Amino acid sequence: MSTVPAIRDAATVMLVRDGQAGMEVFMLRRNLNSDFVGGAYVFPGGAVDPADREAELEPLCSGRTDKEASSLLTVDSGGLAYWAAAIRECFEEAGVLLAYDRTGAILSLADPDTAERFETHREAVYDGTARLVGLCEAEGLTLAADRIHYFSHWITPVGPPRRYDTRFFVAQAPPEQVPLEDRRETIASLWVRPADAIERHRRGELDIILPTIRNLEAIGRFERSADLLAAAEAIESVPTILPRVVADGDGMRIVLPGDPLYDQLGEDAGLPDGTPWPGREGGPRMPTSGA
């Protein structure tokens, strides 16, 4: 008897900065052997772990309570865990820790000795031998939850063996931290203008899945990171996007909310087993209109 895979909560953070040609976003390439979208270029992120839900984290999150976070995400409670997961995953996968030091300044890793010490912390958090709570207590840090803004919400279509309920966030990259892939889950990284990433995907140079493409399109409307962050901070309601799939003469087509066909399809109108994610070679065709 087949079983329906559980949907895991997940958090992803789009780190942005201003380059000479405009705003850039940091992207990582997942390990080719990864069970989930191996080889694809993504933003730092992953599943919300039990440790991200620990009550001890709330006093360490600057400028945001669980009640406020839950309200933004329209969940009853536990919303702050998504911010904690975004911070943890960003530290594990990209080596960037969105936190304030003892002086209240955003954490700087410009000093080589400090950078080396935090690289050791990064390994420990990744391996599970250390927790964010312990790291904050040891280094006198508070997590910069107030610098991380909720931006979009995507749920994996029905069908794939791994399904995620993912909240996307945006944050300014700390000026004195250098992001770098972890060489485990991620094998390459780059700073890229959102429009350039999309164009390189169209040329077959970057493997990018549908939710990532749509978020690149959304943030790509802004020339400066400050404008994007201000707009994200002002968002009052974020719609949930659960793609559905319909068969047509050319194979399968992804249908997003807002398409007249969307409501006609059942909630189980998803991807057949083994079908690649939308946006990948062999996957369903993507819609031409934005979500």
pLDDT score at 1 = 40
> Cα torsion at 9, 12, 13, 14 (round to 10°)?
-150
Q: pLDDT tens for the chain, 291 residues: list them.
A: 445 557 899 999 999 999 999 999 999 998 877 666 778 899 999 999 999 999 999 999 999 999 999 999 999 999 999 999 999 999 999 999 999 999 999 999 999 999 999 999 999 999 999 999 999 999 999 999 999 999 999 998 776 667 889 999 999 999 999 999 888 888 999 999 999 999 999 999 999 988 999 999 999 999 999 999 999 999 989 999 987 776 665 666 677 776 666 666 656 655 565 555 555 554 544 443 333
8 Å CB contact between 31 and 207:
no
Enter the tokens of residue 149. Answer: 């803004």
Stated pTM of the model: 0.88
Please state, in angstroms and rounded to a whole number, the distance separating the CA atoms of residues 242 and 278. Answer: 13
Fold of 7-241: Nucleoside Triphosphate Pyrophosphohydrolase (3.90.79)
Show me where the domains of the chain are located.
Answer: 7-241, 243-291
